[in-house]
Chains A and B, each alone.
Chain A
Amino acid sequence: MKRIFSCLLLLLLLITLPGVLTSCSLIEPVKKLYVYNWGEYMTLESGEDEVHLNHAFEEWYYETYGERIEVVYSVFSSNEEMYAKLKNGSSKIDLIFPSEYMVERLIAEEMLMPLDYGIITAYEETIDPRFQTLATKPYCVPYTYGYLGLIYDGALDEALRDESGEMSWRVLWNEIPGGTDLTDKILTFNNSRDAFGIAQFILNYERALQSGELPGAKDLYVNTADTARWDEAYLLLEQQKDSLQAYVMDEIYNKMESGAAWLAPYYAGDYFTMVDVNENLAFAYPKEGTNFFYDAMCVPVSAKNPIEAQRYINYILGGADGEALDVAIANAEWVGYSSPNIKVTTNLDYLADMADDEEGYGAEALSILYPESDHEALLAMVEEYAAWREEAGEDYDPADYEGPTPDIAMFTDVNTDFVTYIYQNLDNATLVYANGRWEALKLTSAPCTEIYIFSAVIVLVLIAWAIGYMLLRRYRSRYY
């Protein structure tokens, strides 16, 4: 009976199999665009009043080109993870979002496709002129940018600032101007480039201070090939060890939000996520200068749909003549990092939404996201606009607004005291040396004598037991 049943089952399978196969091939194949982005880095909300960028793109694509496309979206959590997946070449990827140093690395390894600015037509008029001169321009379009800053418990604000009201990266070394002891409350990066970077900003600043040439030759330390400079930074990092609570990456959210740690360096855009949970937190840019980074959109050489990928890039920038500017603005607001898209950043609705206390990130948002801009003047404009918008009610039309509007000039290097360093891809020898120094720093552990003693006791007990056992056996074998 069982046998008959299983035979029937097999027969059934055999009959249906060809049907399934043919029915698959009958359906019109939908083109698929494989997008590989950082986690939580694009607006993909499907609620009302929300924007799902990929769905919006699919719709727009059908209307514009008359064919269906499906965006297959997946995420990575580090540049290195993305690099590994791309390098082994087993997965389909049409568009990636690496950070600047990874872009350089990918270019050096000839893994990126040169972009066609005939397709990405929005580039010229939307991307901030400062970004248009980047050496990586032929291969990537900036998506977001930002700076590294100090996140701290607001109660410490006074103690952390020196006489002139500025903050120094030195506070991460527990050198607190107000004299408070923060041992075991300080976090730092568990990745070599960022950890070394902070030490290098300090050294660069202090050297410039000594020779009186502030704000200092920019690349003296940060991208140096001089091993002696890396040694100096290493020694500085070693001094930091005893005051640290932990080397962290994503654990920082938990620790800062819960108040387990009080002081940590992190990216400006992520500060807003933390302050959302723990409103006691505050943010500042230290006087020594900080890291400037950007994440960009690139098409790998292995991409199957490079043209569609570039149309996607163009759409994210707001499309030709700003037809998708709403989507670009919604995306920039959702992501919360600084946007290199001047059509977005000079849009009063965007600025007002960002500076809004309830829906956005509060008045400090502009000075944190755009520290190099004339943010005080911007804020004044935004407040005026927000008041007008309030009055105009639900169905306001931004075109009716007659007050002052921001322009690009307000964003480009107004605040020249704000020193930034960009990380470049180090040459191989330097990279190996720097990694070796980081290795040396990490290999020395915090003291754990009790573990050593404990395990020594265990081993001794085992040895004693083994010897005792052998003696017992000998003793017994004499009698039995």
Chain B
Amino acid sequence: MGRVILKEKMNKKRSFLRTAAAYPHMVWSVLFIVAPLIFVLYYALTEEDASGNFYFSFANITALAGESYLPVFFRSICFAVVATAICLVLAYPLAYFLSKCKVSSQRMLIMLVMLPMWMNLLIRTYSWMNILETNGLINNLLTTIGLPNAKLLGNGAAVVLGMVYNFLPYMIMPIYTVMSKIDSRYLEAAADLGCNGPQTMLRVILPLSASGIISGITMVFVPSVSTFYISQKMGNGRFEMIGDTIERQFMSNYDYHMGATLSLVLMVLIIICLAVMNRFGDEDGGVLV
């Protein structure tokens, strides 16, 4: 009897320790995630009158629907979808290749994938500007071999390129991680049961790496849809993304309420997109594995 009580006590003690370990993180999230979210919500649902008092209002949200913000949302999502798709197409074979390499060379190659991330995003984007400029590296090369100059900067493709370049590692890493953990016995079993190469790929590896794909898509889509610096620099300030609009509300219009509303709507949109995707992801995984 006594022993049981002791055991329970120990359990309690351990569970207390366990929750205690989570406290720093909880404090962190309340301070820096929940509290800011509450502020965003508060600013989004209020307006300021002439004397600086806040009052409750849906004016900002209705203004969103009426004005020309919808095309901006639409544009951002389209750019993000294209960038995410390209990332996926590029990253999947690469991740597969990586996971098949020798362990020692895997480390080296992964470092090469991560290498650009050691530099600041702003610097990377600025360098791309210099490469694509009308008299930049590529165009200089073109002129020396006698080809006409091409306009590489300031169009939609340049913005997508910027996003793909900056966010590609976020796609490669999760897919690679999942793929390198796939048990080779599955592949042997598939071969035993008469699967040829493409069939193994489609019916074994692809479903098994679905979770990596899903988290890769999430990690690329979310920053792409809310990006603001890349579109300004690579698009010459001519392709307004929702991130640019939000930045301007805070930095030059001083309209915190509109900025908060836009952020809130963007967050809801992202959550909807992710929910839809996760639903598909779960079904796939569940059925095919």
Pairing of A with B: yes
Residues of A bordering B, CB below 8 Å = 78, 80-81, 84, 184, 190-192, 241, 244-248, 251, 254-255, 258-260, 428, 432, 435, 439-440, 442-446, 448, 450-452, 454-455, 458-459, 466, 469, 473
In the complex the two chains form, is A435's CB within 8 Å of B238's CB? no
7 contacts between A and B (CB under 8 A): A258-B133, A258-B135, A428-B50, A443-B240, A450-B156, A455-B77, A458-B82
Partner of B236, one of A78, A84, A245, A432: A245
Q: A80-B251, A455-B82, A458-B85 are in contact. Are A251 and B129 (CB under 8 A)?
A: yes
The reply to whether the CB of B199 lies closer than 8 angstroms to some CB of chain A is no
Closest to B81 in A: A455
Q: A443-B68, A451-B160, A455-B81 are in contact. Are A260 and B155 (CB under 8 A)?
A: no
Q: In whole angstroms, how far apart are the Cα atoms of A377 and B236 in the complex?
A: 43
Closest to A434 in B: B253
Q: In whole angstroms, how far apart are the Cα atoms of A452 and B134 in the complex?
A: 25
The reply to whether the CB of B106 lies closer than 8 angstroms to some CB of chain A is no
Given contacts A190-B237, A244-B238, A445-B72, 13 further A-B contacts (CB under 8 A): A184-B151, A192-B252, A241-B238, A245-B236, A248-B237, A259-B135, A435-B255, A439-B248, A445-B239, A445-B240, A451-B82, A454-B82, A469-B284
Q: In whole angstroms, how far apart are the Cα atoms of A439 and B133 in the complex?
A: 27
In the complex the two chains form, is B237's CB within 8 Å of A443's CB? no
A445: shortest Cβ distance to chain B, in Å? Answer: 5
Q: In whole angstroms, how far apart are the Cα atoms of A248 and B157 in the complex?
A: 19
Q: A446 to chain B: which residues have CB within 8 Å? A: 154-155, 235, 238-239
Interface size on B, residues (CB 8 A): 42
Residues of B238-288 contacting chain A, CB below 8 A:
238-240, 244-245, 248, 251-253, 255, 280, 284, 287
Question: How many pairs, one residue from A and one from B, have CB atoms within 8 Å of each other in the complex?
Answer: 102
Q: In whole angstroms, how far apart are the Cα atoms of A80 and B249 in the complex?
A: 12
Partner of B156, one of A81, A259, A448: A448
Q: In whole angstroms, how far apart are the Cα atoms of A450 and B72 in the complex?
A: 16
Q: In whole angstroms, how far apart are the Cα atoms of A240 and B236 in the complex?
A: 15
Closest to B133 in A: A260
In the complex the two chains form, is A245's CB within 8 Å of B154's CB? yes
The reply to whether the CB of B223 lies closer than 8 angstroms to some CB of chain A is no
Most buried by B among A245, A247, A445: A445
Q: In whole angstroms, how far apart are the Cα atoms of A259 and B253 in the complex?
A: 32
Closest to A461 in B: B85
Q: A191-B252, A444-B68, A448-B155 are in contact. Are A247 and B237 (CB under 8 A)?
A: yes
Q: B68 to chain A: which residues have CB within 8 Å? A: 440, 443-444
Binary A-proximity of B157-181 (CB < 8 A = 1, otherwise 0): 1001000000000000000000000
Q: B17 to chain A: which residues have CB within 8 Å? A: none
Q: In whole angstroms, how far apart are the Cα atoms of A141 and B138 in the complex?
A: 48
Q: A473 to chain B: which residues have CB within 8 Å? A: 287
The reply to whether the CB of B92 lies closer than 8 angstroms to some CB of chain A is no
Q: Chain B binding site: helix, strand, loop or mixed by DSSP?
A: helix
B131: shortest Cβ distance to chain A, in Å? Answer: 12
B240: shortest Cβ distance to chain A, in Å? Answer: 5
Partner of B130, one of A254, A440, A469: A254
In the complex the two chains form, is A246's CB within 8 Å of B81's CB? no
Most buried by A among B155, B160, B233, B236: B236
Most buried by A among B50, B68, B129, B252: B252
Q: In whole angstroms, how far apart are the Cα atoms of A443 and B63 in the complex?
A: 14
Q: Please provide the 6 A-B residue pairs with the shortest distance between their CB atoms, ordered closest to farther.
A: A246-B236, A247-B237, A448-B156, A455-B78, A446-B238, A455-B81
Residues of B14-65 contacting chain A, CB below 8 A:
50
Q: A459 to chain B: which residues have CB within 8 Å? A: 81
The reply to whether the CB of B69 lies closer than 8 angstroms to some CB of chain A is yes
Q: B129 to chain A: which residues have CB within 8 Å? A: 251, 254
The reply to whether the CB of B116 lies closer than 8 angstroms to some CB of chain A is no
Closest to A466 in B: B280
Q: In whole angstroms, how far apart are the Cα atoms of A81 and B244 in the complex?
A: 16
The reply to whether the CB of B79 lies closer than 8 angstroms to some CB of chain A is yes
B98: shortest Cβ distance to chain A, in Å? Answer: 25
Q: In whole angstroms, how far apart are the Cα atoms of A254 and B134 in the complex?
A: 12
Closest to A244 in B: B238
Closest to A441 in B: B240
Q: In whole angstroms, how far apart are the Cα atoms of A456 and B38 in the complex?
A: 35
Q: A455 to chain B: which residues have CB within 8 Å? A: 77-79, 81-82, 85
Q: B156 to chain A: which residues have CB within 8 Å? A: 448, 450-451
Q: A260-B135, A451-B78 are in contact. Are A80 and B252 (CB under 8 A)?
A: yes
B60: shortest Cβ distance to chain A, in Å? Answer: 13
Q: In whole angstroms, how far apart are the Cα atoms of A455 and B232 in the complex?
A: 20
Closest to A472 in B: B287
Partner of B154, one of A80, A246, A435, A439: A246
Q: A191-B252, A192-B252, A255-B133 are in contact. Are A442 and B82 (CB under 8 A)?
A: no
Q: In whole angstroms, how far apart are the Cα atoms of A248 and B135 in the complex?
A: 17
A198: shortest Cβ distance to chain B, in Å? Answer: 16
In the complex the two chains form, is A448's CB within 8 Å of B133's CB? no
Q: In whole angstroms, how far apart are the Cα atoms of A94 and B86 in the complex?
A: 51
B100: shortest Cβ distance to chain A, in Å? Answer: 26
The reply to whether the CB of B71 lies closer than 8 angstroms to some CB of chain A is yes
B74: shortest Cβ distance to chain A, in Å? Answer: 8
Q: A439 to chain B: which residues have CB within 8 Å? A: 245, 248, 253
Q: In whole angstroms, how far apart are the Cα atoms of A48 and B206 in the complex?
A: 66
Q: In whole angstroms, how far apart are the Cα atoms of A246 and B134 in the complex?
A: 12
In the complex the two chains form, is B236's CB within 8 Å of A443's CB? no
Closest to A193 in B: B252
Most buried by B among A260, A448, A450: A448
Most buried by A among B79, B82, B287: B82
Q: In whole angstroms, how far apart are the Cα atoms of A245 and B154 in the complex?
A: 7
Q: In whole angstroms, how far apart are the Cα atoms of A258 and B68 in the complex?
A: 36
Q: A81 to chain B: which residues have CB within 8 Å? A: 251
In the complex the two chains form, is A246's CB within 8 Å of B151's CB? no
B68: shortest Cβ distance to chain A, in Å? Answer: 5
Partner of A442, one of B50, B134, B151, B240: B240
The reply to whether the CB of B124 lies closer than 8 angstroms to some CB of chain A is no
Closest to B245 in A: A443
Q: In whole angstroms, how far apart are the Cα atoms of A442 and B240 in the complex?
A: 7
Q: B69 to chain A: which residues have CB within 8 Å? A: 443
Q: In whole angstroms, how far apart are the Cα atoms of A33 and B82 in the complex?
A: 51
Q: In whole angstroms, how far apart are the Cα atoms of A251 and B236 in the complex?
A: 9
Q: In whole angstroms, how far apart are the Cα atoms of A466 and B281 in the complex?
A: 11
Q: B232 to chain A: which residues have CB within 8 Å? A: 190
Q: B160 to chain A: which residues have CB within 8 Å? A: 451
Q: In whole angstroms, how far apart are the Cα atoms of A398 and B288 in the complex?
A: 90
Binary A-proximity of B97-114 (CB < 8 A = 1, otherwise 0): 000000000000000000
Q: In whole angstroms, how far apart are the Cα atoms of A439 and B151 in the complex?
A: 27
Q: In whole angstroms, how far apart are the Cα atoms of A255 and B156 in the complex?
A: 19
